[in-house]
Structure 1
């Protein structure tokens, strides 16, 4: 084993689970991935936490031979919580995409805090975590009453690794109905439901909760003094490197399964519930105006199971013949929730054309969200879309008054996790400005697309 002081980031996205080993300078030493599968049997669809756990411990054994690991940092998707007693889960971890009974939605509507205090829009399925918890409390009262803690998903993994329970603001402030971002305190729902005692003490995302449990250190070969950090919501991990980048408005476009436009420095009074706008809470507890759509999932639906990166000629052909995709291709929220997606014009014929159509659609959706938010100042693209060579140039061509740049990190969540272990250390601003695309007819195509989506039908 080397003497390198490394960090393990457990990055649980909605689609994949990653375990990334990073050295003291933030360079990646190793990365392993596994699908984030959902178990469909049992009382309801739920996350396969045991499979993740066993896979993770196996990878950690491998990593222990590569470097001396000083910390483990959990980073996960939002809208997810675990109910635990002293020994483990009292109920499986509900998948937020599960459709909850319609009758429960009506009952829950009377419990929700007003949007003006939570800035958490009413969302489908279990995307409002408060609705999940209310349904579990009503449907499984005995198990719910046995719970000692409600743990946000990053803190569930931190608890399982360290034995220390904590709460943390970024997951609580992620369209949960449980938090008041502007006041930085729990919402009326928590008190109304009697859940206050179930939330452990608040800790900063970068706080070490404790050492890795001794039996786990022995099993994995990791050092006994390896620290387990509190952890953070994944989109907020992507924001960390931008929190200290000066005053003024700027926007981070965090891309993955979800595409989230986070407008730093923007007031909240322009947010509108009916457009699926929300306020997240960043790692410092400050509210951040956001808008999002399920862009990774929608890109996959349009591009198909075997995507092939398109050429500028493919993009030009689709624009010239008027082929466009109108929202939406996911049922999980977004500004056009409830509409059925459709393709107008000649259908794409090849894998490259399908990739081109998915790219055009996701650029236009991102542009729509930026405009609806009133985004001003520079825009930085983080995450999976940085691997698409056409995304940032097409977006830059639509927004000439804003500098559009790409991070060199295809996973802002990984960088954010590393930053938590090295809190306060300077991080290089490794971004590159995008050269605007010269795609002919692109502006007119956008205007036709906007006319179609705002009218709810083809223009």
Structure 2
């Protein structure tokens, strides 16, 4: 059986999958690797451990007699650089994008390049410190100039993993184009600061996501993709009518591949950004920290009502509870204008739990509040575009309260819960489809469940 191997590297879970020619998963393995720390003691990915795990995984796949390995690709979390010298030796730890960034360095940088507002709008990158991976390179150059001199290439993590197997260094537009501060979305080329600071010489040439690097013994190897951009590929291949993908996990990210209007500074302040598709088209996106909020608040509810923390899994949408809560709220506590930022703070944080007579009622209220935030966030990317459908995947797609309330909130748009196994891994396999798979792509890759409003 011909297969493609995809290494799907998350912050927590590292997975490897084999997909057959119909894109069904036929073999998989996953692991959680121990973190290490950088020179400041800040936790970070242990790149050596990851490297060894990938080589072990490949060695194991080659011993499987039922499969013929035709291609390999990578999808990994973004905003992380590996710096190598001319012999391919790694020069620094894989710095964590959550690491604090020196304020004075940020201020000096933006001052030099026309201020935060203009710069952020051009690069479609909110000001996020280390989460703008270009700023990691800038910091290295300013703080460790000698080390910077020794760098032959800065490689985003997916491209480094590809380099391990091909010995060829490339950049990829999905990694470069995701809130890195490196790309000028207006001119569709690197922002001029990258040249001014002589960083351009350390960035290898761009490689197209659909192309492979080399066919050693008939194995095609992709250059790797940023996981958020990879996850949208199965949808753009299956659906041509304008849609928004609401990808839910720790973050809920609304992705609109049909909105190519330039980001405004106000949108950037509201946590909007652009991702780049592997076809070089921007995707407007809005982020909300709602999976995290759900976790925090369900713990709070479990403690208050003295129930197990995952009790919400047994609670289903109850129309009556919702209409009672709405009637109540409109009378007393529902001023539509909030005295806080609805996108940064969930209204439920301020609610007094003693006003709810059961866990079930309180949980319905939490979902009402989370969906209200979600509607604000998703509307930022729907704005002025002809969206006909919303597909929800990830955790909240399995939550009947969330799905019913969302369908109600968007009466003119069809709302679907979408499920498919491992969207970002599947996307990375589909990206290089024509390099390994002679069959046409099936149109049943995604299971849909429609929610009436």
TM-score normalized with structure 2 length:
0.80
Whether 1:48 and 2:46 are equivalent positions in the alignment is yes
Q: 1:318 to 1:344 in 2, by over 3 A?
A: farther
Separation in structure 2 between the aligned mates of residue 82 and residue 139 of structure 1, nearest angstrom = 17
1:307 alignment partner in structure 2: 310
Against the structure 1 CA distance between its residues 367 and 423, is the aligned structure 2 distance closer, same or farther, given a 3 Å change threshold?
Answer: farther
The change in CA–CA distance for 1:37 and 1:428 in structure 2 (over 3 A counts) is farther
2: distance between equivalents of 1:156 and 1:316?
54
1:289 corresponds to which of 260, 279, 284? 284
Give the C-alpha shift of residue 18 in structure 1: 1.7
Shift of 1:75: 0.4
* C-alpha spacing 1:169/1:101, structure 2 compared with 1 (3 Å): same
Q: Deviations over 1:248-286 (max 9, x none)?
A: 632112233432211122132464222121222111111
Aligned to 1:60: 58
When residues 339 and 392 of structure 1 are mapped into structure 2, their CA distance, relative to the original with a 3 A threshold, is closer
Aligned counterparts of 2:348 and 2:132: Cα–Cα separation in 1 = 23
Q: Matched residue of 1:31: which SS? A: strand
CA contact (8 A) 2:293 2:346 kept: no
Structure 1 residue 161: Cα displacement = 2.1
The 1-side partners of 2:401 and 2:430 are apart by: 29
Question: What CA distance in whole angstroms lies between the structure 1 residues aligned with 2:449 and 2:287?
Answer: 23
**Deviation larger for 27-36 or 130-139:** 27-36
Is contact 1:394-1:436 (8 Å) kept? no
Q: Does 2:391 match 1:380?
A: yes
Residue matched to 2:332: none
Contact 1:13 1:257 in 2 (8 A): no
With 391-400 and 162-171 compared, the bigger mean Cα shift is at 391-400
Alpha-carbon displacement from aligned partner over 1:193-225 (angstroms, at most 9, x marks no partner): 11111111111112212257xxxxxxxxxxx43
- Offset of residue 397 of structure 1: 1.8
* Conservation of the 8 A alpha-carbon contact between 2:75 and 2:224: yes
Q: Please say if residues 367 and 402 of structure 2, whose CA atoms lie closer than 8 Å, have aligned partners that are also in contact.
A: yes
Give the match's secondary structure for 1:151. Answer: strand
Task: Give 1:45-444 correspondences, 5 Å limit.
Answer: 45-64=43-62, 65=64, 67-85=67-85, 86-112=87-113, 114-123=119-128, 125-211=129-215, 224-244=217-237, 249-269=242-262, 271=264, 272-304=267-299, 307-308=310-311, 309-312=313-316, 336-337=343-344, 342-346=349-353, 359-360=367-368, 362-373=370-381, 374=383, 376-423=387-434, 425-429=440-444, 430-436=446-452
Higher deviation after alignment, 315-324 or 289-298: 315-324
Correspondence 1:13 to 2:33 = no
Report if the CA contact (8 A) 2:286-2:377 is conserved.
Answer: yes
Q: Deviating runs (4+, > 4 A) in structure 1?
A: 244-248, 313-324, 337-341, 347-362
- Aligned alpha-carbon RMSD (Å): 3.3
Task: Give the corresponding residue for 1:457.
Answer: none
Deviation at 1:24, TM superposition (A): 1.5
Gaps of 5+ in 2: 300-307, 330-340
Answer yes or no: is the 8 Å Cα contact 1:386–1:406 preserved in 2: yes
Alignment CA distance shift 1:312-1:197 (3 Å)? same
1:181–1:285 CA contact under 8 A, matched in 2: no
Further displaced range: 33-42 or 71-80: 33-42
Distance 1:50 1:315 in 2: 53
* Cα drift, residue 392 of structure 1: 2.6
Where in structure 1 are there 5+ consecutive unaligned residues?
213-223, 325-333, 438-459
**C-alpha deviation, 1:228, in angstroms:** 1.9
Give 1:76 deviation, angstroms.
1.1
Distance 1:9 1:390, change over 3 A: farther
SS in structure 2 of the partner of residue 290 of structure 1: strand
Deviations along 1:124-146, one digit per CA (max 9) or x if unpaired, are x4111122221122222222221
CA distance in 2, matches of 1:67, 1:143: 44
Over alpha carbons, which structure has the higher Rg? 2
**Displacement after TM superposition at 1:170 (Å):** 0.8
401-410 or 43-52, which deviates more: 43-52
Aligned 8 A contact 1:302 1:355 in 2:
no
Aligned to 2:303: none
Q: Distance in 2 between matches of 1:298 and 1:404?
A: 23
TM-score (ref. length: structure 1): 0.79
Partners of 1:81 and 1:153 within 8 A in 2? yes
